[in-house]
Amino acid sequence: MADTDAGSDPTGGEAGDSGDPESDSPSAPTGGLVVPVEPTPTLRAMVAYAVEAAADNGFSTIHLVEIASWRSGDPDADDRASAAERVLERAEAWANSDLDDFDGERPSVTIATKLIGADEYLFGPDDYVQVLAAYAEEHGADTVLLDPEYTPVGNTTLLQPLEFALSNTSLSVETAPVTRPTRRERLRSEATGKRFVAMFGFSLAFYLVLGDPFYWFDWVTGIATAAIVSITLSRVSIDAEPAIPRTPMRVFRGLIYVPILLFEIVKANVEVARVILDPRLPIEPTMNRMRVIVGSGLPLMTLANSITLTPGTLTVRARDSDLYVHSLIPASRDGLFDGSLERWTRFVYYGRSSARLPTPRERDDCAILQGPDATEELPIAAADGGTSSADGGGSSAAADSAVASGDEKRADRGKREAAEVADE
């Protein structure tokens, strides 16, 4: 999929068939229509409506954009980007086909496609709107058309939060009046297929581990319990379709990781106990920031909980690709920055090759936010809505430094994230 410029002819025909908006007559359509796309059941109908709206309202360009829910550099970023490009290619082909099917002359509307937002993690509607508004401003578009089934982050709809956040921008917002698919027997559809089998197997195995696998009554109650859990939670708990050999390999590597995690827990217990029992050893509680490369969703949750289970460290917040972790002693902080648990988490989900990536310390993706060794300031939000400093630093110190380097967007984001961490 190539990024189609607004002035190019998407059909491959002569330039006069679609025309360059800037070289046409004064009555040529102007402005652009931005359409976020995802592989939804209503995507085809929404593209058809977008083409009609562009032709009727005089838009010169339809911008089909997919907002990445991942970040470039994630272990599975290439596969997800390829899937997104295929969706954009399909939507572009539909739009061009609809333009060609118009009665009479083909409307002077061009199609542009773009994958945006892959340079940072986007966790909420404000993040999505920020990326969408920046793209619209860059390409001179003033209207956004939303799919009623738009779900860019798994099973959670962002339509209403997106509409609210977009209302605070200068963009006009419209939801495509397309027919939503009828959903019958939702409980049955969620409880069938690979997700059901996987959840049933995990639930039954866990039940038997806690009980007696050689007692018939535990098998009867275990099967009944696993069936209930699978029917109600199979789609909620498993966000990706199980596949061969990916899922069995992840389970196998996860079994290898369990004793490694137990060893790290025991080792951390010994280190913390030594510091507590020996008054000559230092206790230096600090807040730390560590940017991790494990992907989002389940891998990020696994790493955050693994850190919390290890004595001496506590994951306070996960924000984008950053983990904010409180450490009790210097050894705990050093182990965190050395990235042992991060590497093992990548090994579980992506294999040996991903485990060889550099550690947070080697990537310079870590920082101490408190104490005499602090490398970054930790701003906190004042109760009156202003800002105050922690450990002698101004609440906007890090952000002002970013402004001085010419990166105002990064500064504003730094203020907001640090305030949220302090509130947490």
Domain boundaries, the chain: 15-175, 186-237, 246-376
Name the pLDDT band for 188 (thresholds 50, 70, 90): very low
- CA torsion, ordered 244, 249, 251, 256, to nearest 10 deg: 170
Contact 237, 199 (CB under 8 A): yes
More confident of the two residues 183 and 138: 138
The answer, yes or no, to whether residue 115 has pLDDT greater than 60, is yes
Instruction: Please give the Cα distance from 162 to 150 (Å, whole number).
Output: 10
Query: Among residues of the chain, what percentage have pLDDT more than 70?
Result: 71
Phi, psi of 373, rounded to the nearest 5 degrees: -95, 15
Predicted local confidence at residue 405, as pLDDT: 42
Whether the per-residue pLDDT at 132 is higher than 80: the answer is yes
E-strand stretches of 302-364: 313-319, 322-327
| Polymer length of the chain | 424
| Confidence check: pLDDT of 123 > 50 | yes
Homologous superfamily, domain 15-175? HUPs (3.40.50.620)
Q: What is the mean pLDDT of the segment spanning 147-175?
A: 72
pLDDT higher for 295 or 218? Answer: 218
**409 pLDDT more than 50:** no
Which one is predicted more confidently, 124 or 55?
Answer: 55
Question: Residue ranges of the alpha helices (H) in 101-244?
Answer: 125-138, 159-166, 186-190, 194-210, 216-237
Lowest-pLDDT choice from 10-24, 159-173, 227-241: 10-24
**The pTM is what?**
0.50
Cα 277 from Cα 32, distance rounded (Å): 68
Q: Looking at residue 390, what DSSP letter applies? A: B
The amino acid sitting at 157 is T
What lies within 8 Å, CB to CB, of 170 at 6+ separation is: 142
Average pLDDT in the 309-323 region? 85
Higher-confidence residue of 399 and 159: namely 159
- In this structure, what are the phi and psi dihedrals at residue 75, rounded to the nearest 5 degrees? -55, -30
Helices and strands in the chain: count of H runs, count of E runs: 16, 11
Please provide the average confidence, as pLDDT, over all residues in the chain: 75
Report the side by side order of strands in the sheet with 322-327.
313-319, 322-327, 286-291, 366-368
Confidence of residue 175 (pLDDT cuts 50, 70, 90): confident
- Determine the Cα–Cα distance for residues 310 and 106; give it in Å rounded to an integer: 64
Confidence at residue 238, expressed as pLDDT on a 0 to 100 scale: 66
